[in-house]
């Protein structure tokens, strides 16, 4: 394996020094910023995430701020998800589509204040798209990347750790809700969200001066909980069927082709007419694979006899389930139960299409 060459072009976060010191062994680049990808190895990291609690530097979840009197109108123009019933303290997972209905991003959106949205981006260029739409449509808003850096707490002991640092009230936060909690003489927005199925919170840190004090407070408070530095975990997220923009979907996929049907309710939006007319002929499925598996850094054809019926978009070896776990984009004519062959760069692997993910 070769190293990632660092430079100014690949932005550091407020915690990069601490993440290095904590033993990060691999980074990836996400929104032109450093995202830790491994500490003790994906398997060891996953096992620890499932039993204890981790602190994740997810500053790469960039917040595009849309602020002004037309912020709500523009936001509803940008997504086919119906935002009209959303509570002020609610987060929403929102597909964002181009005019063909193709997925441009799958962010979490929330309102830190009235007339202000934060669009918490997956990897992509969405700020330019939003700024362009605001300008072209003459919306009364400002659009910019806010200097907010999220830190996630994930794992079954997340509530205990968060309560020790932010107080018992944080336990009452419901899934995909946010609120403000005191820390270090300031208030921080915390949501019960995060890119794992193990539960936890995300803290939207707005001042660099609070970043290391928060990191240090979490590690001091969680010593007896075996708190460790961690990161979004490849195998855990595939076991849970959590999607990764750029891997499991691109602008060549509509929400219907990547299992996001339930977030398409409004057609009077960018991409709405295309989505209304759209007939999708493939969908994402769980794929169980025989190992050993090489790194999935290209699309792997899924073969049923001589016919190519889809591609594997992400995969990893699962120690917990004793098999390769994968996400595949498969022709709708074929469904769960099919025995298939996946062509990896290391040769063919026996595989099986499943109805459900592993958790």
Smallest gap, in angstroms, from Cβ of residue 78 to ligand THG? 15
* Nearest to ligand THG of 177, 343 (CB atom): 177
193 with 104: CB under 8 angstroms?
no
Min CB(96)–ligand THG separation in Å: 11
Q: Which stretch binds ligand THG (CB under 6 A): 106-114, 153-161, 271-279, 281-289?
A: 106-114
- For ligand THG, the closer of residues 110 and 227 by Cβ is 110
Name beta bridge partners: 352: 288, 339
Alpha-carbon dihedral angle through residues 232, 238, 241, 242, given to the nearest 10 degrees? 20
In whole angstroms, the minimum distance from the beta carbon of 302 to ligand THG comes to 22
Give exposure, 263-292, as e/b (b: 16+ Cβ within 10 Å).
bbebeebbbbebbeebeeebbbbbbbbeee
- Stated as kind and residue range, the H or E segment containing 27 is strand 26-30
Q: Which of 159/239 has CB closer to ligand THG?
A: 239
In sequence order, the 6+-apart residues with CB closer than 8 A to the CB of 277 are none
Could you give phi then psi for residue 44, rounded to 5 degrees? -65, -45
Q: How far is the CB of 121 from ligand THG (least distance, A)?
A: 6
Task: Decide whether 231 or 309 has the Cβ nearer to ligand THG.
Answer: 231
Any contact of residue 108 with ligand THG (CB under 6 A)? yes
User: What would the x/- binding string for ligand THG be over residues 43 to 72, using CB under 6 A?
Assistant: ------------------x-----------
Subset of residues 240 to 279 that bind ligand THG, contact rule: CB under 6 A: 242-243
Closest separation in Å from C-beta 180 to ligand THG: 16
Nearer to ligand THG, 256 or 334 (CB): 256
Which residue minimizes CB distance to ligand THG?
120
Output 253 or 334, the one with its CB closest to ligand THG. Answer: 253
Instruction: Candidates 32-40, 94-102, 114-122, 330-338: pick the segment binding ligand THG (CB under 6 A).
Output: 114-122
Binding-site annotation: residue ranges for substrate: 202
Residue 357 binds to ligand THG (criterion: CB under 6 A): no
Contact 349, 291 (CB under 8 A): yes
Q: What are the structure tokens assigned to 232, written together?
A: 């979004």
* Contacting residue, 194, 222, 255, 328, with ligand THG by CB under 6 A: 194
- Show contacts with ligand THG in window 76-95 (CB under 6 A): 93
Contact 279, 338 (CB under 8 A): no
DSSP structure string for 237-263? HHHTT---BTTTB-TTS-GGGGT-GGG
Nearer to ligand THG, 80 or 150 (CB): 150
Tokens of 92: 């929403």
With binding defined as CB under 6 A, does residue 206 bind ligand THG? no
> Rounded to whole angstroms, how far apart are CA atoms 38 and 49?
12
| Token reading at 248 | 């499991």
The Cα 146–Cα 65 span in angstroms is 6
Binding site for ligand THG (CB under 6 A): 61, 93, 106-108, 120-122, 150, 176, 193-195, 202, 242-243
């Amino acid at each position: 394996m070769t190293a990632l060459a660092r430079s100014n072009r690949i932005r550091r976060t407020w915690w990069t020094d601490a993440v290095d010191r904590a033993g990060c062994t691999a980074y990836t680049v996400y929104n032109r910023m450093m995202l830790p990808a491994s500490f003790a190895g994906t398997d060891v990291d996953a096992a620890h995430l499932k039993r204890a609690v981790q602190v994740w530097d997810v500053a790469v979840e960039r917040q595009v701020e849309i602020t002004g009197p037309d912020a709500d109108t523009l936001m509803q123009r940008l997504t086919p998800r119906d935002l009209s019933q959303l509570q002020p303290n609610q987060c929403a997972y929102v597909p964002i589509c181009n005019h063909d209905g193709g997925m441009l991003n799958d962010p979490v959106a929330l309102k830190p204040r009235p007339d202000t949205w934060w669009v918490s981006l997956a990897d992509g260029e969405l700020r330019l798209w939003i700024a362009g739409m605001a300008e072209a449509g003459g919306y009364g808003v400002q659009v910019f990347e806010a200097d907010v850096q999220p830190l996630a707490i994930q794992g079954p002991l997340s509530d205990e750790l968060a309560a020790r640092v932010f107080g018992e009230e944080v336990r009452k936060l419901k899934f995909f809700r946010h609120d403000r909690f005191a820390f270090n003489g300031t208030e921080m927005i915390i949501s019960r969200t995060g890119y794992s199925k193990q539960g936890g919170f995300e803290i939207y840190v707005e001042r660099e001066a609070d970043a290391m004090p928060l990191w240090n407070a979490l590690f001091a408070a969680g010593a007896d909980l075996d708190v460790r530095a961690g990161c979004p975990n490849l195998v855990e997220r595939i076991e849970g069927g959590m999607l990764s923009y750029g891997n499991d979907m691109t602008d060549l996929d509509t929400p219907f082709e990547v299992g996001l049907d339930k977030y398409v309710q409004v057609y009077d939006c960018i991409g709405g007419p295309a989505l209304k007319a759209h007939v999708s002929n493939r969908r994402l499925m769980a794929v169980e694979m025989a190992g050993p598996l090489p790194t999935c850094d290209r699309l792997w054809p899924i073969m049923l006899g001589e016919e190519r019926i889809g591609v594997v978009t992400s995969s990893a070896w699962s120690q917990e389930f004793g098999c390769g776990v994968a996400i595949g984009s498969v022709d709708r004519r074929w469904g769960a139960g099919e025995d298939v062959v996946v062509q990896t760069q290391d040769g063919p692997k026996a595989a099986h299409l499943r109805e459900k993910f592993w958790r």
